[in-house]
Amino acid sequence: MKVEQIFTCHQVSEERKVSLATLSFQGHAMYWWTSLVRDRRLHYDPPIQYWNELRSSLRRRHIPSYYTRDLINKLQRLHQKNMTVEEYRQTIELYLIRAGIREEENITIARFLSGLTFEIRDKVELLPYKDLNDLVQLCIKVEQQNLREFQNKLILIFLFQG
């Protein structure tokens, strides 16, 4: 989160994080915070004093309970389709990070391979690679090669039609 980067950069103490974070609340966020503080006081709950408590409250309020499940489903169904290899890789990484999934690299490699377009996967499966980064670079090379071949075919078609 951006706010956590700011805390780290300015070496904000744990005691000041909640007050600094809530200082930037405006509109609905400020109403929500004021209501939360009041409700905690009414129920004799201790005030939120630590950033991880505030972050958890914010997540409970703003992130639906099904969010992670939906991300996992999207990840399971993800295919490259019209994305570039790099866009496809970044999408997988984003879903994994947002869902809080840490998986073995060989599982991510299998996930990545299974979602590639047939034209790329068919060529890359025959090539050796040592890790995911190596595989992605090979896929990018194959993608570029496929693009060149397609462009050359188009040139030939235009030459023979003209």
Taking only the tens place, the pLDDT of each residue in 82-101 is 999 999 999 999 999 999 99
User: What number of residues does the chain have?
Assistant: 162
Q: How far apart are CA 155 and CA 43, in angstroms?
A: 75
> Which tens digit of pLDDT belongs to each residue from 7-59?
999 999 998 999 999 999 999 999 999 999 999 999 999 999 999 999 999 99
Q: How far apart are CA 110 and CA 113, in angstroms?
A: 5
> Which residues, at least 6 apart from 124, have a Cβ–Cβ distance to it below 8 Å?
113, 116, 135, 138, 139, 142
Count of structural domains within the chain: 2
Note whether 6 and 54 are same-domain residues. yes
Question: What is the DSSP code (8-state) at residue 44?
Answer: T
Query: Residue 126: pLDDT above 80?
Result: yes
Note whether 82 and 129 are same-domain residues. yes
Task: Kindly report the pTM of this predicted structure.
Answer: 0.76
Note whether 76 and 102 are same-domain residues. yes
Domain that holds residue 50: 2-62
Note whether 84 and 127 are same-domain residues. yes
Q: Look at phi and psi of residue 13 and say left if phi exceeds 0, alpha if psi is from -120 to 50, else beta.
A: beta
Here the tokens at position 74 are 């999207």
Note whether 143 and 129 are same-domain residues. yes
Note whether 108 and 46 are same-domain residues. no
Note whether 87 and 153 are same-domain residues. yes
